[in-house]
Amino acid sequence: MSDTTGPGSATGRSATPDVTLTPLGGAGTSVLVDTGYARVLVDCGASPDLAAFDASMLDAVVLTHAHPQHADGLAALVRNGFAGSLIATPYTLRMADIGLRDALLTQRENEGPAAVAERAHTRTGHGPALPEDDPARVAVAVAALGVGHEFGDPMVIAPGIACTLHRAGHALGSAWVHLDLGSAGTVAISGDLGRHRHPLLRHPEPFTHADTVLVEAAYGEGRRPASDDRDHLAHVVFTTLDHGGTVLVPAGPVDHIATVLFELARLRRVGCLPGGVPVCFDGPTGLASVGVWRDALLARDPELHDSVLDAGFGAFDVGSLTEVRTARPVRHASGAAGGILIAGPHHGDGGRAGRHLRELLPDPRNAVLLQGRSPVGTAAHALARGATEVRIGKDVVPVRARIAHLPGMTTHADAAEIIEWLGRGTEPAMTYVVHGSPGARLALRNRIRDTLDWNAEIPTPDTSLVLPATAR
Ligand SMILES: [Zn+2]
């Protein structure tokens, strides 16, 4: 565990240790902050680094939000000895619990019980064993570490490190993080920023100042307007249902399902989604996720747009939402002639979405709706690029179903919105562009240099950045 003396204490040491930021590999969403006295991890997307990571030395983990790329390393951290505080907004903690349970169950379904038992037997974790690898018990162990932290309240989360969360407008409870590291200055970490036209949430709280900024570039290259996508969505849903087909929407339980339901509810209001069409979520966590949003509506949470607050539960009213557990098309499960099926993961690789793709793709009556961008190498990415066949697990599946790619239907800020967010604040000493494809990071770095005239770099994963001491 960390030294309990803070950087401002009289320690008798001759030199102050370097304060470092280390962007970890994998999705590029995790950053290790090490002051020499304390260590904090901001976000923990699954990464090869986490598998061999002695997490017992962490004082705290801060979650910006609960999307898988930012939180799906939580189980590995706890298995590897993490026993510090898990800091996030209350909504993010609830969504992280839902996402973790869903991910662990999906992993178990994909691997089968024999593989799970083998992994539990052979792993070399640093922490207390969770030999049963029971998803519920792992989730409980993670949830026990959670410390809810409201927006705007500075909080000392480790010796010499104060953290303030600010509204990011990307997912319910999502935050960008401001860290005060004492003599090493201040650091802002964007997490994922919301887009200005987010259908449900208000704009991100603007950046103000930090000496060092780490900013995401998931959509650093720009995108199409969403209005085209809404028309496309309405046309595909209406015509597919009219022909008795099934519409599959790959979407995970953490927030993606809420945005899907919001769009379907809008179609219902304008008559493009006939009454009685079954809308099903395949998995045990979809309704729990919608329940978190319903709680936010009941609390009239200020994160939500006024229009969403005014709509109340009607914002997600698709008639009936059923939670099912089936590998068969929804029309078989429901007995109806067609329907809408939502299943994770968002990128369609494996899990329940993978099983449904295997069954639905060969039939031209069906349609698959792909929102936003998907990581290279995933089934959704191949489908969006027009693949005529796609590999699902061990099978090569012909693609005869209609593929509707809706790249503008995302809750991510694009490059112009990120630049606007940054430009509301004062210039930092350095801005590092993290999280995004190499092309997106390069485009955003150049735009920061050209538009804002700020120092901007793309850090090398797993390479520590030493922060300069600031005069205070
Ligand atoms: Zn996200």
Q: What number is the average pLDDT over the span 9-19?
A: 61
Q: What's residue 11's pLDDT?
A: 42
What amino acid is encoded at 219 in this protein? Y
User: Taking the CB of residue 235, how many other CB atoms lie within 10 A of it?
Assistant: 12
CATH 3.10.129.10 applies to domain 226-406: no
Residue 414 CA to ligand 1 center (angstroms) comes to 13
Per-residue pLDDT at 235 exceeds 60: yes
The alpha carbon of residue 360 and the mean position of all alpha carbons in its chain are separated, in whole angstroms, by: 27
Q: What number is the average pLDDT over the span 57-76?
A: 93
**SS3 (DSSP) at 103:** helix
**CA–CA gap between residue 140 and residue 144 (Å, rounded):** 6
Residue 124 CA to ligand 1 center (angstroms) comes to 30
List where CATH 3.60.15.10 sits in the chain.
19-221+412-467
HSE (side-chain half, CA atoms, 13 Å) at 425: 22
Residue 217 CA to ligand 1 center (angstroms) comes to 11
Whether the Cβ atoms of residue 24 and residue 462 lie closer than 8 Å to each other: yes
Among the residue ranges 111-115, 152-156, 181-185, the one predicted with the least confidence is 111-115
Q: What number is the average pLDDT over the span 8-18?
A: 57
Q: What's residue 454's pLDDT?
A: 98
Whether the Cβ atoms of residue 175 and residue 187 lie closer than 8 Å to each other: no
Residue 170 CA to ligand 1 center (angstroms) comes to 7
308-320 pLDDT, tens per residue?
Answer: 999 998 999 998 8
Per-residue pLDDT at 4 exceeds 60: no
Whether the Cβ atoms of residue 250 and residue 344 lie closer than 8 Å to each other: yes
Higher pLDDT, 379 or 50: 379
What amino acid is encoded at 20 in this protein? T
Whether the Cβ atoms of residue 446 and residue 453 lie closer than 8 Å to each other: no
Whether the Cβ atoms of residue 440 and residue 466 lie closer than 8 Å to each other: no
Residue 257 CA to ligand 1 center (angstroms) comes to 13
Q: Give me the count of residues in the chain.
A: 472
Residue 256 CA to ligand 1 center (angstroms) comes to 10
**CA–CA gap between residue 36 and residue 107 (Å, rounded):** 36
Per-residue pLDDT at 244 exceeds 80: yes
Residue 412 CA to ligand 1 center (angstroms) comes to 7
List where CATH 3.40.50.10890 sits in the chain.
226-406
Q: What percent of the chain has pLDDT over 90?
A: 55
Q: What's residue 129's pLDDT?
A: 45
Residue 200 CA to ligand 1 center (angstroms) comes to 14
Residue 65 CA to ligand 1 center (angstroms) comes to 7
pLDDT band at 326 (very low <50, low <70, confident <90, very high): low
pLDDT band at 122 (very low <50, low <70, confident <90, very high): very low
pLDDT band at 125 (very low <50, low <70, confident <90, very high): very low
Per-residue pLDDT at 130 exceeds 60: no
pLDDT band at 254 (very low <50, low <70, confident <90, very high): confident
**CA–CA gap between residue 305 and residue 163 (Å, rounded):** 26
Q: What's residue 225's pLDDT?
A: 59
Per-residue pLDDT at 132 exceeds 80: no
CATH 3.60.15.10 applies to domain 19-221+412-467: yes
pLDDT band at 114 (very low <50, low <70, confident <90, very high): low
411-426 pLDDT, tens per residue?
Answer: 999 999 999 999 999 9
Residue 5 CA to ligand 1 center (angstroms) comes to 35
Residue 71 CA to ligand 1 center (angstroms) comes to 10
Q: What number is the average pLDDT over the span 105-113?
A: 72
Among the residue ranges 2-11, 140-149, 177-186, the one predicted with the least confidence is 2-11
H or E segment and range at residue 249: strand 246-250
Higher pLDDT, 51 or 24: 24
Q: What residue has token string 């005529």?
A: 388
DSSP strand pairing (19-23 vs 465-467) = antiparallel
**CA–CA gap between residue 460 and residue 438 (Å, rounded):** 11
The DSSP output letter for 89 is -
